[in-house]
Structure 1
Amino acid sequence: MGAAEEWWASYHGKIRAALPEETLFLIGARGVIRDEQGRYLLIKRTDSGVWSFPAGGMEIGESLTDCAIRETWEETGLKAAVATPFALYSGPQNIYTNTFQHTYQHIILSCLLTDVSGDLNPDPEEAADAAFFRPEDFPNQGPTMQRMLADLAAFESTGRLQVS
């Protein structure tokens, strides 16, 4: 079974098939890995060609922190032992239409991933490439990425989960 068939058999695929025109909630998590040089791991998504932090939808029976670890591992080959939540995004500003013209309101927990092991080896079905970048060198400087980095900085200075 290919990736497309697997997706349509998944929870999110079944909900999308049942409600093809509706805006759906997508509950998921994002993994943020920062190296010793202050660079962040980004993947180049195969569906859109956009560089972003590894992320994806939560599976039934999984926690959001486990989702951040799993999605990052699946997309990059790097596995974290610790996921520290720093921001939760859920408001109407998080409504997106993807490349397949499916609209979702994302409810996403962003986690700083630490105690990382493994070799950087992007999954070609999800990530055309993966690399570490300094924020000023990010291939795309979208407002979402900049907001997330600002939320990480706010969390690290206050210890408070950032919520929007």
Structure 2
Amino acid sequence: MALTWAESYLGKVRTSVGDKDTLLFVGARGVILDDRNRLLLIQRSDNHRWAMPAGAMELGESMEECAVREVWEETGLRATSLTPFSFHSAVTYTNQFGHTYQQILMSFRIHTWEGELQRVTDESVDAGFFPLDALPDGRSPIIEETLADLASFESTGRLVLK
């Protein structure tokens, strides 16, 4: 069962610190391309943007475990084989709630998974696979950069560090 925001590590820290200070956001993102090279996106329930499954680590988790959990919570799919391809640690952003975070995030290419795609979960209002040349409007701006990082990793074999 997924934790609520208030129960999550980051939710507890944010409540303790308040809304004004910048916090470190440590997390992971899962990138799934199906056998037709379509990208899995979820439409987030909090801001209705289309995004790749991603989220914050909980205490005791590895980044890989975080990616597996976040994909499962947001899609109902269980990642069974994944490879890290990019590590971002210098991005600072403010979300729609006015909370500012410096993001430390590992992106994983998920090669295999099991289960049936759940289009609606506690964290998503829709989900689906989209052709790369026909991604939906209202999407997260990080999608294109993440796909470029994946292409760089696949052509060089080197982890992308930013």
TM-score (norm 2): 0.92
Give the residue type in structure 1 aligned to 2:124: A
Count of residue pairs brought into register by the alignment: 159
Structure 1 residue 115 displacement after superposition: 1.8
What is aligned with 1:125?
122
The 5-angstrom pairing of residues 133-152 of structure 1 reads: 133-140=130-137, 143-152=141-150
- Structure 2: 5+ residue runs without aligned partners? none
- Name which of 8, 11, 20 aligns with 1:10: 8
Aligned AA for 1:98?
N
SS in 1 for 2:6: helix
CA distance in 1, matches of 2:140, 2:59: 31
- Structure 1, 115-124 or 103-112: larger mean CA deviation: 115-124
Which residue identity lines up with residue 72 of structure 2 in the other structure? W
Give the Cα–Cα distance (whole angstroms) in 2 for the partners of residues 47 and 16 of structure 1. Answer: 17
Residue 46 (structure 2) aligns with: 47
Moved over 6 A (4+): none
Gaps of 5+ in 1: none
Give the Cα–Cα distance (whole angstroms) in 1 for the partners of residues 47 and 7 of structure 2. 22
- Which digits, 9 at most, give the CA deviation of each residue in 1:6-29, with x for residues without a partner? 321321111101211101010000
Aligned-pair identity (%)? 48
**Structure 1 position 49, deviation (Å):** 0.6
Contact 1:25 1:106 in 2 (8 A): yes
- Correspondence 1:1-164 to 2 at 5 A: 6-20=4-18, 21-91=20-90, 94-140=91-137, 143-164=141-162
- Alignment RMSD, CA only? 1.6
Higher helix proportion, which one?
Answer: 1
Q: Report the TM-score, using the length of structure 1 for normalisation.
A: 0.91
